[in-house]
Structure 1
Amino acid sequence: MVISTILDFVFPPPPSVFTTAMSVVSVAMLAYLGLLEARGVHLQYSKFSLAPNKKVQSRTGMLLLYSPAFLAGLASFLIFPDGGLRFLILRSAISLHFFKRILEVLFIHKFSGGMGVGSMVVISLIYFLSTATSIYSQHLSEGLPEPPVDLLYPGIALFLIGIASNSYHHILLSKLRKEGEREYKIPKGGLFGWVICPHYLFEVIAFVGISFISQSVYSCSCSLAIFFYLLGRSYATRRWYTSKFEDFPEDVKALIPYIF
């Protein structure tokens, strides 16, 4: 009964050992990384970059995080020149997502400190592999019967809401510090009055939108994996703020308003 209900919303899993394995590995790995974040073992970037042995400048590191995934999205238009509307929108959404990230690194974010080389390699590889696998999994689904429940257009709406709201909160964060300032402040405006990581919340929404556009098992697994990781990261972020600021509001949650 449960499997039958799920199949109303997703394409039948393609007969691919690779995509099946990647679905399991993605959820397990990012859930584990999220648990480590919650326990205080952080990937070394942003406010958790604590002088690792080898590091690069934050701006350079962030560009190297997102560029391979963005290039993979662009390359997919050459590698798979044909495909239906869903495949076209999926590739466009993924490419747009990482292009937005690159623009934010270049023109919006303010950086201090560095990024651990090991963390940079791990995150960049995760983004690249998840992008390539999402596109490949969708390619394998071409020609299969469409799911009975079509989530394409709700997915587009969620994706656009997610990336627009994510950018808005990144802009609010960038305005906290004037040019030359390095100290952190408690964010205000937008949904920062409800959660300390609204940019993470809307990132999850954007990826849920991508999974709705795709309606593939892998993309759904990828969205779930990102949610698990950002749960841990947001929990650690809230704990960091409460340790740095005595006046941090107790009613401001980590990721989900009023809940978590």
Structure 2
Amino acid sequence: MKRRFHKMHGLGNDFVIFDARETPLALDAARARAIADRRTGIGCDQLILIEPSAIADMKMRIFNADGGEVEACGNASRCVALLAGGGARIETSGGVIGAAALGDGATIDMGEPRFGWDEIPLAYAMDSSAMPVGWEELRDPAAVNVGNPHIIFFVEDADAVDLERLGPLIEHDPLFPQRVNVNVASVEDGALRLRVWERGVGLTRACGTGACATAVAAIRRQLVRGPVEVHLPGGTLSIDWEPGSRIRMTGPATHVFTGEIELEALA
């Protein structure tokens, strides 16, 4: 049986999106990996499944390219908002978020950040705003959960960090029982330049939750003020947050094409 899908991206972070609200679609890690494969499948960073929700307008499930299901994805949220064509409440494993389509993009209410060591989660108690840990030249990070776990390092030059080598070491460190997304950021004229090693994906052109977590950590350290522009390799997001409030992320989303696939052919 052929299934219709949408190919979309947010700043180059690309997705295959299936709308399964009327016709259920069974997905497991093996099938998600097969669809995400850029040589023998459709190819994407994440696979998105839209399902019915009992508590929101729809439910969004997110599978990374390695087949692992994760809690949140900011760039995918903007793409789903664009498909919805207006305002929507979207249930995710990380909580319910609000989305509003705006022309060729969307603003997403990403909820409140969490800072407790057990909320991120970390393996043991420590101050998440200035963690007394380090990996080679990357030291004294902050950790924030914005629906999924992030660690943020502020450095002089984000582009100079060998993130392709250090990213997987940090992602799989025993300090992070659910693994972690790794962000390296530089402050430049009141804005942030950010690169992200995404859990289960690798280096990515953009990470919406990474931009949110990094902006929050920078505002907490009084390095920048919100709203702040976050420049990623794929483009720019605007993140607005004040302590005690909810995070608002604004940025583009692009519909590339619609297609059909015979899923059984990938088995």
Normalised-by-shorter TM-score class: under 0.3
Comparing both structures, which one devotes a greater share of its residues to helix? Answer: 1
Comparing both structures, which one devotes a greater share of its residues to strand? Answer: 2
TM-score scaled by length of structure 1? 0.26
* Greater relative contact order (CA < 8 Å, ≥ 6 in sequence): 1
**Bigger Cα Rg:** 1
